[in-house]
Amino acid sequence: MRKFKLTVLAIIIVFVIIVILQNISSVEFQFLLYSVTMSKALLLFLTAFIGFIIGILFSYIFIKKRNTR
């Protein structure tokens, strides 16, 4: 099962890299009062990275709660 999870993770990472590399044009990003111009690739990478970190944190919290029962 662990090998399957690693394979799925590797496939997802490859797809994310392909999408990021295909979107290298510039885009204006607005958040609240701030406006930043950056490449779509950087914005997609940051979004994927933040989502990955949030997923790890939630899984850690879920595992910790399950182990305390």
Question: For 19-42, what is the HEC assignment?
Answer: HHHHCCCEEEEEECCEEEEEEHHH
Q: Compute the mean pLDDT over every residue in the chain, rounded to the nearest whole number.
A: 85
Cβ-based burial of 31 (10 A; exposed 0-12, middle 13-18, buried ≥19): exposed
Condensed to tens digits (0 to 9), the pLDDT of residues 56-65 reads: 998 888 877 7
Task: Report pLDDT for 53.
Answer: 94
Q: Span 36-64, mean pLDDT?
A: 87
Task: Report pLDDT for 54.
Answer: 95
Are 40 and 25 a contacting pair, CB within 8 Å?
yes
User: What ranges do the domains of the chain cover?
Assistant: 2-68
